[in-house]
Amino acid sequence: MFQKIVDMSKTYEDRGEWTKYMMLETTRKEIVMAMMMTACDLSAIAKPWEIQSKVALSVAAEFWEQGDLERTVLEQQPIPMMDRNKAADLPKLQCGFIDFVCTFVYKEFSRFHVEITPMLERLLNNRKQWNALKEEHEAKMAVLDVAKKPNEEKASAAASANQPSKTENQPQAKTCVIN
């Protein structure tokens, strides 16, 4: 619906006429206001990287505290974004958040008002920064996986060698003959 409203805004050359059109229907007005509130709630994602990355870490710390409470008090496994044990996945989670929540809002608002375009550009830049951190983490994990593999193979081979064969452990069948 918001996309239709944005598309409709392009048909009006006079801003005053557009404003009158927007005021005619409560639903249109409420949808635009709801999207504006969403954009405001998400605004930290469109700040310069130095600010945005600090805000993301602060929010993540709050989520991790909640996850700690879920684990200890409720004895439940928290979802990944609230699990302190998955803190290294923060860049991946941020990329997903930007891709599936934030980009739509700012892309549509920048079509609605070109003044929003710098915010969209910063959001996309922040996405690149998070992605670089995600790729760096994934590369380190791949190196660790390669380094672990020979040790795991040795341990598996040793465990197999120490296992008695199936025939050694199985009891011999006994036949009882009754005359």
Name 64's Cβ contacts closer than 8 Å, sequence gap at least 6. Answer: 82, 83, 84, 87
Q: Tell me how far apart the alpha carbons of residues 121 and 115 are, in angstroms, rounded to a whole number.
A: 11
Q: How many residues are recorded in the chain?
A: 179
Is 68 assigned to a binding site? Answer: no
Q: Determine how many CB atoms are found less than 10 A away from the CB of residue 134.
A: 19
Q: What tokens does 43 get?
A: 């605004």
Cβ–Cβ < 8 Å for 95, 134: yes
Query: Angle CA(83)–CA(133)–CA(110) in degrees, nearest 5?
Result: 95
Q: What tokens does 159 get?
A: 């465990």
Amino acid at 13: E
Distance, CA of 9 to chain centre: 32
Burial of 72 (0-12, 13-18, 19+ CB in 10 A): exposed
Residue ranges for the known binding site are 41
Residue ranges for the known binding site for Zn(2+) are 41
